[in-house]
Amino acid sequence: MAERMGFFTDSSVCIGCKACEVACKEWNGVPDDGFVFRATSYDNTGQLGADTWRHVAFIEQDDRWLMSSDVCKHCTHAACLDVCPTGALFRTEFDTVVVQADICNGCGYCVPACPYGVIDRRERDGRAWKCTMCYDRQLGGLEPACAKACPTDSIQFGPLDELRARAEARLERLHADGVAEARLYGDSPGDGVGGTGAFFLLLDEPEIYGLPPDPVVTTRDLPEMWWWAGGAAVTLVGAVAACFLGSRR
């Protein structure tokens, strides 16, 4: 398997231009998300969804205007993948999580499973859609469209280990420059989703950016449940068999 690849989104250099949103749509043929003026700063696409795979949040504070480009986290423990009954969702050789549109039957189990509210069903075709980290581009050795377009390199793509080291260095520098609130989000393998393939440098609390402060994989108890379910099934099979055996007598 290839190295685990990821996104490091450094919001401290984001200029909120939304090139990532557009480059993503151009490459992936994602439809527009409607023309709605939301009166929420410069954000008119609202949130990640079936038709918006990169989303730039704009947060207006007293003397700051924070911007950050959100995306699917490509979790280490991905609940969407765990619950997908068709195998439409799968983990690639780059350790990213991708929906296969030709397999997805639109059951929608993945939608509530995502602790970030990322994956979403598209009204017009019923199927689930989200960021693929431009899987097709990666197969050709290209970086994802959003990372390539990003004018200030706020979105960086690469081997996750390298990105984490780079992010640590950037954080140290910001702390040294007195930006005390700067923090990484999603970089820790010890968090509730086992760390994310797409992680962030934020300048404030994650909630400010609309990110859950402590995401937990919704299928955390699934193996245990499987164990119990399995046990129950064995018991059931045993009981049914006993019935048959009994009846033969």
Partner 1 sequence: MAECHPVGFQWVMEARLRGAKVFHIDPRFSRTSAVADRYLPIRAGSDIVLLGALINHVLSNELYFREYVLAYTNAATLVSKRFQDTEDLDGLFSGFDPESHRYDPSSWAYEGDEESEAETDEMREGGGQHAEAAGSDSYGARGAGASARPPSDPTLRHPRCVLQILKRHFARYTPEMVAELCGIPPEDFAELAEAITANSGRERTTAWVYSVGWTQHSVGAQYIRASAILQLLLGNMGRPGGGIMALRGHASIQGSTDIPTLFNLLPGYIAMPHAHRHEDLAHYLEMEGADTGYWGNRRSYLVSLLKSWWGDAATEDNDFCFGYLPRLTGDHGHYATVMGQIDGTVKGYFVIGENPAVGSANGKAQRLGLANLEWLVVRDLTLVETATFWKDGPELETGELRTGDIATEVFFLPAASHVEKEGTFTNTQRLLQWREKALDPPGECRSDLWFYYHLGKRIRRRLGDDEIDRPAIELTWDYPEEGEHREPSAEAVLREINGTGPDGRALSSYRELAPDGSTRCGCWIYCGVYADEVNQAARREPGSRQSWVAPEWGWAWPANRRILYNRASADPEGRPWSERKAYIWWDAEKGEWTGHDVPDFDLRKPPDYEPPDGARAEAALAGTDPFIMQSDGKGWLYVPSGLSDGPLPTHYEPHESPVLNTLYARQSNPARRTYDRPENPYNPPGSARFPYVFTTSRLTEHHTAGAMSRSLAYLAELQPELFCEVSPQLAAEVGLVNGGWATIVTSRTAIEARVLVTDRVRPLRVQRQIIHQVVMPYHWGYGGGGLVTGDIVNDLLPVVLDPNVYIQESKACTCAVLPGRRPRGQALLDLIEEYRHG
Partner 2 sequence: MADGGWISRWPVIRQLKGEDGRRDAARSARTDALRPRTEEADTVARSVCPYCAVGCGQLVYVKDGKVSQIEGDPDSPISRGRLCPKGSASKQLVTHPGRQTQVLYRRPYGTEWERLDLETAMDMIADRVVRTRRETWQETHEGKEVRRTLGIASLGGATLDNEENYLMKKLYTALGAIQVENQARI
Site for partner 2 in 77-116 (CB under 8 A): 81-82, 87-93, 98, 100, 102-103
- DSSP state letters, the chain: -PPPEEEEEEGGG-----HHHHHHHHHHTPPP-------BTTB-S-S-BTTBSEEEEEEE-SS-EEEEEEE---BSS-HHHHH-SSS-EEE-TTS-EEE-TTT-----THHHH-TTS--EE-TTT--EE----SHHHHHTTPPPHHHHH-TTS-EEEEEHHHHHHHHHHHHHHHHHTT-TT-EEES--TTSTTS-BSEEEEESS-GGGGT--SS---TTTTHHHHHHHHHHHHHHHHHHHHHHHHHHH-
Decide which of partner 1, partner 2, none touches 98; Cβ closer than 5 to 8 Å per partner kind: partner 2
Q: Are 52 and 127 in contact (CB under 8 A)?
A: no
Q: Which of 3, 125, 153, 168 binds partner 1 (CB under 8 A)?
A: 153
Contact pattern for partner 2 over residues 12 through 51, marking x by CB under 8 A: -----xxx-xxx--xx------------------------
Site for partner 1 in 51-70 (CB under 8 A): 60, 62, 64-67
Q: Is 77 in the site for partner 1 (CB under 8 A)?
A: no
Q: Which of 18, 54, 77, 130 binds partner 1 (CB under 8 A)?
A: 18
Q: Which of 86, 105, 152, 235 binds partner 1 (CB under 8 A)?
A: 152
Of residues 37 and 244, the one with the C-beta less far from partner 2:
37
* 243 annotated as belonging to a binding site for a ligand: no
Q: Is 37 in the site for partner 1 (CB under 8 A)?
A: yes
Decide which of partner 1, partner 2, none touches 140; Cβ closer than 5 to 8 Å per partner kind: partner 2
Q: Is 244 in the site for partner 1 (CB under 8 A)?
A: no
Contact residues for partner 2, defined by CB under 8 A: 17-19, 21-23, 26-27, 81-82, 87-93, 98, 100, 102-103, 135-137, 139-140, 142, 145, 148-151
